[in-house]
Structure 1
C-alpha cells in the first residue's frame, strides 16, 4: 500500500533521512522503532507532505504522492495521529471529530461518528466537553477518532504512548489493534519498542536516519541488537 524508496529529507543543512526504503502492506500493522532523534517523525512528515523529500519517491496505492500538499495526501486516504496528539483544545470533542471529516462529501459522516462513539464510549460521554480538559489518554483516543473520521486507508500513528501511564498505554494499544481489525492499514512510530513489536506484523529499526534492521516483528523482537538496545537486554525476552 505504501512504499518509500531511497527517501532523503532534512532540515536546512541537516540530513535527517538517508536513503530510507520501507514498505507497508495493505491490512498490516508495521512498526518503526528507534531512539529519540533517529528520524522516525521526519519519516512521518515526509509521508504526509509536511516535509518535502529531497530525493527518492513515495508511492501510495501505486501512485506517487511525493510533492503533494498535506490536504491532497489526506484526500488520497492517509491520516496522521501526530506526536503530542495536537487536538483542538478550545473545541469540543464532537467538533474535533467533525473536523476529521472536513474533506468528506459523502452522506455517511454521522454513521461513522456513531461508530467512533461505539469504539470510544468515553468520547460519547464527553462529546460536549472541551478537548483541552480531557485526560492525556482521552485526548489520544480523540486524536485517533478524529483521524479515523477521515476514513483513511492508511493510519499513521506517531508516538501514541508518549506521556501516558502504563495502564493507559495498554488501553491505547488495544484500541490500535481494534482499528486494524476493521481493515485499516497502520504504520506505527513508537519509542516503546516492546509494545510496538507486540502488536506489529512487520518492523523496521531506525538509527541516525537509516534503516538498520527489518523483518517480521517477532523476529525483530528477538534480535540480540534490539533486545540489548530497546528491550532491556538479551536475558529479558
Structure 2
C-alpha cells in the first residue's frame, strides 16, 4: 500500500516511516467513514492510550526519583488526558490528514478536541504495532517534549487544591456552576463559576467544561491568596 503525499509528510512530522502503511491509514480513519473493508481507529485508540500511559509513568519516575505516588498521579493525569493528546495532535497537524465522514467534516471534526485526542492515541498504537515499544516511546517523548519537565509545576490540580483549602477551613466542597455557553456546537465556549460556601467566587472561560472549571478554581485560589 502506498501512502498519499499528505500522509508521507505526516510521517516526517512524527519522525516515523511505516513499514506497514496500512497501520497509519487505519490510525487516521474515523468511525464516520469505516466500512466492512475499511477499519476505523477505535481499537488502535484503546491500545495507544495504554502505551502512552506506560511511557509517561516510566518517564515521570525517571524524571523525579523522590516523588511520592500522590505527587506523581496529577502529573501523570496532566500528560495523558485527552486535552494533552489533542494539543500534541494540533502541533503536528494531525487534523489535516484525518479521514472523516461528511457530517463530521462539516461540523469541524478536524478541530474537535476529543476526536484529535483519540486519533493521537491511535497513531501511537500504530507506531507501536509497526515497530515496537521503543519506537513508540521515542516518538512520544519527542512529541511531548518539555511538557514532561514542566508538568511538576503545571499539573497541580487546581480543583483539588481549592477543595483542600475549603475543607481545611471547615467549609463544604466548592461548587462549579455553568454561567454561559456560546459558540457553535463543534467549538463551544464555556464560562464556569467556582464558588465557595461563603459565596466567594471566580469565573473563567475555556473551550471545555473541565478546562473552565480548572481555570475558575485557579482564579479563585489566586483571589483568596
TM-score by length of 2: 0.23
Which structure's residues are more often strand, by fraction?
Answer: 1
Which structure's residues are more often helix, by fraction?
Answer: 2
- Rg larger in 1 or in 2? 2
TM-score by length of 1: 0.23
Query: Which protein has greater RCO, CA pairs closer than 8 Å, 6+ apart?
Result: 1
